[in-house]
Amino acid sequence: MKQKVRVGDQVEVIAGASKGERGSVREIRHKRRRDGKPDPNRVYVVVEGVNLRTRHQRATGRTQTQRGIVEFEAPIHISNVMVLGTNDRPTRVGYRRDAGDKIRFDRRSGEPIAAAE
């Protein structure tokens, strides 16, 4: 299945404990099967400022930089987020050819989605 979310996209969480929260995609994680190939059904995104978790972390090594109570953003399954369209509402993403270039567009309004920074 084609992956419609990219790093840098503005997204809204549509399901789960963080439903309704918005942020930009920081990272996309592909889980792997036992044979080492990426599993298309296990794709997760890390969204800035969303799904925050705390971990009580022990100091490791000489530097001891990450110790104590550490807050981090936990991954969310890609099916639980939607890209925000041009009108700042969650939308589906489509693809079309425009003058030989393949562009992503907002399925709700039909306008092209700006490339992520």
pLDDT digits (tens, 9 = 90+) for 4-22: 899 999 999 999 999 999 9
Chain-wide mean pLDDT for the chain? 90
> Radius of gyration over alpha carbons of the chain, in Å?
17
B/e letters for 51-80, b = 16+ CB within 10 Å, e = fewer, are beeeeeeeeeeeeeeeeeeeeebeebebeb
Q: Rounded CA gap, 9 and 15, in Å?
A: 18
Kindly report the pTM of this predicted structure.
Answer: 0.84
CA of residue 102 relative to chain centroid, distance: 21
Q: Tens digit of pLDDT for each residue in 44-64?
A: 999 999 999 999 988 877 766
SS3 78: helix
The token duo for 100 is: 């030989």
